[in-house]
């Protein structure tokens, strides 16, 4: 799924004249074993903060709509993040994971 997201994001960038030279497979391999680095959205969820995904995800989906680029994976992930964000805001606390008490 991450590879598809990267491909769709690159297609959106190309549609506005930006050529991002990223090999999704190589990039995933580069970060595969780096478990110490946590993405900012994961840090937000764990801390109970609203997820800052408008500038990261939603703007790319909006640009895709404006340029006619198909981004089904990005749209699906953005919708899931929206639901997750609503839950974090509603609960006002971090979301626990199975096994954490």
Higher per-residue confidence, 25 vs 79: 79
pLDDT at 47 over 90: no
Interatomic CA distance for residues 76 and 96, integer angstroms: 23
Cβ neighbours of 96 (radius 10 Å): 10
What is the tens place of the pLDDT at every residue in 76-90? Answer: 999 999 998 998 888
Query: How is the chain split among helix, strand and coil, in percent rounded to 5?
Result: 65, 0, 35
pLDDT tier at 101, thresholds 50, 70, 90: very low
CATH code of domain 2-91:
1.10.1040.10
Residue 48 in contact with residue 92, Cβ under 8 Å?
yes
Q: pLDDT of 31-41, one tens digit each? A: 887 777 788 88
Q: Across the chain, what does the average pLDDT equal?
A: 87
């Amino acid at each position: 799924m991450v590879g598809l997201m990267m491909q769709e994001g690159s297609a959106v960038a190309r549609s506005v004249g930006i050529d991002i030279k990223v090999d999704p497979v190589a990039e995933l391999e580069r970060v595969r074993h780096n478990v110490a680095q946590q993405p900012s959205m994961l840090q937000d969820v764990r801390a109970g903060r609203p997820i800052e995904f408008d500038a990261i995800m939603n703007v790319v989906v909006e640009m895709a709509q404006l340029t006619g680029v198909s981004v089904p994976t990005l749209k699906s992930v953005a919708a899931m993040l929206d639901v997750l964000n609503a839950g974090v805001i509603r609960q006002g606390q971090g979301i626990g994971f199975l096994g954490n008490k």
